[in-house]
A and B are shown apart, each in its own frame.
Chain A
Amino acid sequence: DTGVSQDPRHKITKRGQNVTFRCDPISEHNRLYWYRQTLGQGPEFLTYFQNEAQLEKSRLLSDRFSAERPKGSFSTLEIQRTEQGDSAMYLCASSRGDSYEQYFGPGTRLTVT
């Protein structure tokens, strides 16, 4: 396994711009999760995919946020009209099988100026 990868690792954007992040899960992991983490806090769940189906979304995921996982492989998380409160680390994780052990990527740090 090559591990979960995320791109970009860092993103600085101006308020009001749109940003898109990509996550490549461990191959053959059918479940993919997005979390958001702010300084000093634990990760907060955003959304979850099983294969290509988005099965759960947090109320944190406002209508400015959208996530996709076409063909059940990589996933993208898009934030439209970014706000300063969106500044955070966006973490992706994947899992498979009955254990649901989650493996995390390195994260994408978003700074909205």
Chain B
Amino acid sequence: KQEVTQIPAALSVPEGENLVLNCSFTDSAIYNLQWFRQDPGKGLTSLLLIQSSQREQTSGRLNASLDKSSGRSTLYIAASQPGDSATYLCAVRNTNAGKSTFGDGTTLTVKP
């Protein structure tokens, strides 16, 4: 059974800081891994999708990496802004069908 852990549960940083969010998974036989952002009371917004054959993906100030052998993914946010404040979730898919297993997220607060 796949288990996904995100540590820390909450993170507070000053504006402008570069930061790294972590995602660990127990079953390394993954199909893909997806990072999402969720604002309070809202749905999930897809940020980056990494296929199992890829090592990293980049979009603007965001960079996600994947190390299957160690069961880890990181989301790097450069030059953080108050608008980046949200909960960040990672989701792991083990097969080309059906469920993704989510972590419980890291709630990020970027202070002006």
B91: which of A98, A102, A105 is its contact (CB, 8 Å)?
A: A102
Q: A42-B4, A100-B31 are in contact. Are A56 and B97 (CB under 8 A)?
A: yes
Q: Confirm or deny: A107 has a beta carbon within 8 angstroms of a beta carbon on chain B.
A: yes
Residues of A within 8 Å of B89, CB to CB, are 42-43
Residues of B within 8 Å of A107, CB to CB, are 42-43
Contact A99 B99 (CB under 8 A): no
Q: Confirm or deny: B18 has a beta carbon within 8 angstroms of a beta carbon on chain A.
A: no
Q: A42-B4, A91-B43, A106-B42 are in contact. Are A101 and B34 (CB under 8 A)?
A: yes
Bound form: Cα–Cα A47–B49 in Å: 21
Bound form: Cα–Cα A95–B105 in Å: 22
Interface of chain B, helix or strand or loop or mixed? Answer: strand
Q: Confirm or deny: B28 has a beta carbon within 8 angstroms of a beta carbon on chain A.
A: no
Bound form: Cα–Cα A95–B45 in Å: 13
Contact A102 B100 (CB under 8 A): yes
Chain A to chain B contacts (Cβ below 8 Å), 9 pairs: A33-B98, A45-B100, A50-B97, A56-B98, A91-B43, A98-B96, A99-B32, A100-B32, A104-B45
